[in-house]
Amino acid sequence: MLKNSSILITGGTGSFGKKFVDMTLKKYNPKNIIVFSRDEMKQWDMAEKYSDDPRVKFIIGDVRDRDRLSRSLDTVDFVVHAAATKIVPTAEYNPFECVKTNINGAMNLIDSCIDKKIKKVVALSTDKASNPINLYGATKLASDKLFVAGSSHLGFDKTQFSVVRYGNVMGSRGSVIPFFLKKRDTGILPITDERMTRFMISLEEGVKLVWHAFEDMLGGEIYVKKIPSMKILDIAKAVAPSAKHEIIGIRPGEKLHEQMIGVEDAPYTFENEDYFKILPAIHNWSKDKNRIKNGIKVPENFLYSSDKNGKWMTSSELAIWIEENIDKTL
The residues annotated with a catalytic role in the active site are 128
Q: How many residues are given for the chain?
A: 330
SS3 296: strand
DSSP state of 312: B
| Contacting residues for 277 by C-beta, under 8 A, at least 6 apart | 221, 222, 223, 224, 269, 270, 291, 292, 295
Among residues 17, 110, 118, 8, which one has the least CA distance to residue 66?
Answer: 110
| Contacting residues for 7 by C-beta, under 8 A, at least 6 apart | 24, 30, 32, 33, 34, 76, 77, 78, 79, 80
User: What does DSSP say about strands 244-247 and 188-191: parallel, antiparallel, or unpaired?
Assistant: parallel
Q: Report how far residue 200's alpha carbon sits from residue 169's, in angstroms, rounded to the nearest whole number.
A: 6
